Amino acid sequence: MGYLWGASGASQEAEEVDEEEVRKAAARAMVELRRLLVHEVGESLVAGVEEGEEAGMEAKHGGGEAAKEGGDDAQKDEGGYKDGSGEAGAEEAVGEAAVADGIEGHPEDQRQSGELEYIDQVTMRRFLRAYQNNAPLASERILKMQRWRASKSYGLDTLVRDIGRSTEGVQAQLDTGKCVILKRRDLVGRPIISVQVKLHDPSVQTPDELTRFGVHMLLSAEAMLTEKPILDEAERKFCIIFDLQSVHLSNIDYHACKRIIYMLTYFFPERMGVCLLVGAPMFFTAVWHVIKPWLDAKTQKKVAFVRVDKLGEYIAPDCRPSWLGGTCEDLAEGSVAS
């Protein structure tokens, strides 16, 4: 079967850059980001930065790519990101739709209800990568994420960051088995979120229930990233699998897609390492044409259409469940967090 709807485009050789200049640019951006955050939330909530050492690590852990892609030319434009590659349009499209859907919570409960969390250097570097070393925009987005985590939203009287298995509606979603976090990892060492789309019925749950469930799964996967010392930047991300085998049009949920994309973009940037769409039926061509514009150019490159018999290029057979052609049944029962 030919997958004509996958990410395409001729590869271009990256222009050679002066690595020392890349390091210096990353260091300057890191220092500026810390200054902006301290101004907003105070010294005690922001990690220290050693210019030329800690900040310079950005060049070793992805900052070099960020500087090549955007560098100091990236500009904030009417709340979006402007770098000439379509990110602003993608953010605007999914952002407006998500706000209309209530992804950021209802207007009456969009208030900060808890204390902001400590902002460490790993988080600062991650947001700088996400926004091409644009310190002002990275600062704005870190604060957006922090205030969201410290808010009461989605009809709950608990903080977003405390959403868990016991949160209203979450266990019912877990019981469907449509989304689980595998105990094993992919070949790169990333946690794996596996979604069986055929088990999803868009009419069963409310938008708030679905959002709480999505938050729980993403927080659970993120928690796995701190289970062991991280030696490689790739291990700070997770692998998401959408199993599209035996899927019907009635299983497709565009609202759910918007919510997932919005959360990954604004609240979990640079957390998705790869997204595998497995066994897509031919009608998914039309579905993909709708969803693809909601993703920025950088994220589109992380999406791969894969046949089940080719999953070994990403995940070993003994790390995959039977429905993905593997032999592992030792799952994490939908979550690693209670």
C-alpha pair distances (Å), 206 with each of 155, 172, 174, 262, 269: 11, 12, 15, 18, 25
Tell me how far the alpha carbon of residue 27 is from its chain's centroid: 24
Non-local (6+) Cβ contacts of 149 within 8 A are 114, 117, 159, 160, 161, 267
- Put simply, whether the predicted model's pTM sits higher than 0.85 gets the answer no
The length of the chain, given as a count of residues: 338
Indicate the burial class of 73 (C-beta count within 10 angstroms; 0-12, 13-18, 19 or more). exposed
Q: What is the 3-state secondary structure (H, E, C) of 304-332?
A: EEECHHHHHHCCCHHHCCHHHCCCCCCEC
Can you say whether residue 42 is alpha, beta or left, with left for phi > 0 and alpha for psi between -120 and 50 degrees?
left
Q: Enumerate the domain spans of the chain.
A: 19-43+109-151, 164-324
List phi, psi (to 5°) of 254.
-65, -35
Tens-digit pLDDT string for the chain (338 aa): 333 333 333 333 444 557 788 788 889 999 999 999 999 999 999 998 865 444 444 444 444 444 444 433 333 333 333 333 344 455 555 555 454 445 555 433 445 567 899 999 889 999 999 999 999 999 999 999 999 999 998 988 889 999 999 999 999 999 999 999 998 899 998 999 999 999 999 999 998 999 999 999 999 999 888 776 665 666 789 999 999 999 999 999 999 999 999 999 999 999 999 999 999 999 999 999 999 999 999 999 999 999 999 999 999 998 998 889 988 876 655 444 33
- Of the candidate CATH numbers 3.90.1150.10, 3.40.960.10, 3.40.525.10, 3.40.50.300, the domain formed by 164-324 belongs to 3.40.525.10
